[in-house]
Amino acid sequence: MDIIEIIEHKRDGLALTDEEIHYFIKNYVSGEVKEYQASALLMAIYLRGMNDHETATLTDEMRKSGDVFDLSDIPGLLVDKHSTGGVGDKVSLILGPMVASCGARLAKMSGRGLGHTGGTLDKLESIPGMRVILSEEEFKKQVTNVGMAIIGQNERLDPADKKLYALRDVTATIGSIPLIASSIMSKKLASGADCILLDVKYGSGAFMKTLEDAERLALTMVNIGRKLGKNVKAEVTDMDQPLGMAVGNNLEIKEVIDILKGRGSEDLRNLCLDSGSVMLVQAKLYEDEEEARKALIKNLDNGKAFEKFVEFVKAQGGDTNYILHPEKFEVAKHIIPIYSSKAGYVNRIDALIIGVSSMHLGGGREKLDDVIDMSAGIVLNKKVGDEVKEGELLATLYTNKENTEEIEAKVVTAFDISVHKVIKKKENLLIQ
């Protein structure tokens, strides 16, 4: 067997065997298979696709290419949640305390933000003192004792994906659903959780632009989980407007606090309740989602979910004074209001424009080594379906940068104001 044969098979539309996929991953990670050969195979996969069995096998071989966390000594079924990325997506930071307050254990590895989508680790690091790198033993101890931990990905986890992702980025093969699915699922499966909930987003602020593509990706990942013996479910959710009201790191932490204290935007709260209900059923703590939802609402109302967030921050070294007194967070030097030039109803808020604008204000990074301004970002005052009067506040920009007129003008264009009343919410789709 050699790599040229494997490339020819996929080029000609044949399904790769388990042995061929094993050979490719093993020898690509070791360096025996060269970058130009891997590039050719990736393009063949992009053009010819993969069936469910091939995709599951590729995922499993990538998972086994490095460390695989063994969390079996932690009692109960461990839950994890992954989002394909969006603007204002701080769901994991709300969901974790919610489900942990109901007895679940969340064991989560997260990444950093790049481009218009924010990263969970960056948001956490806007809390002074917060540690996102823990040893495996510290991670296990915290999940056992606190009920949740969110940390950075182990560098030895899934080296095949690290190499393949970098190669896909420069060979125009990012958009292949089997390659996207195997990239996401190999990392999730190597992280050691028993139950995984995937949030596959679609729309202007998401990687998947259409509902159809998001559904295909979600179904592919659920099928991978089923074939590899894991409890995996997927939600398909809308990212045609930012999630919640805040976009930007410490601004989003303040919104997390609001939601956990029973305040905050309806769309964000509802998504967290929907997702949390599914996760509690996956963890076999409740028989149905209706009962699970009631328990989550109760712990939002009685303060237990917020208390769990404080406990989590303290366990990872964060200064809880900032959580108890969010006014302590640094506020950007320039606070710029954006007003509506006409009356009507908000028909759409372009999430991509908002996300890119927040990045340009300093709230995100264009390159991995860029330094983020934790106080920069955008807070919306209106969401889709809301009525707007002429001259009314649409959003507020926060930045330490000077000369932001172009960004301000761009944010104005993100808001589509209609004379007709607009329906507020799209239903989320659960694939299981």
Catalytic residues: 82, 161, 168, 183, 187
- Assess contact for 249 and 92: CB atoms under 8 A: no
Place of tokens 């539309």: 13
Q: Kind and range of the H or E element at 431?
A: strand 429-431
Got the DSSP string for 342-353? Answer: S-EEEEEE-HHH
Q: Kind and range of the H or E element at 334?
A: strand 334-339
Widest CA span in the chain:
69
Q: Kind and range of the H or E element at 198?
A: strand 195-202
CA angle in degrees (0–180, nearest 5) for 247-330-338: 45
Place of tokens 């609001």: 258
Give the E-state strand segments of 52-210 in sequence order.
Answer: 78-83, 105-110, 148-152, 195-202
98, two tokens: 């919610």
- Assess contact for 127 and 313: CB atoms under 8 A: yes
- Assess contact for 68 and 192: CB atoms under 8 A: yes
Q: Whose CA is closest to 201, among 353, 356, 82, 354?
A: 82
What Å distances lie between residue 135 and 5, 68, 152, 186, CA to CA? Answer: 42, 14, 10, 21
- Assess contact for 116 and 355: CB atoms under 8 A: yes
The span from the CA of 305 to the CA of 287, in Å, is 21
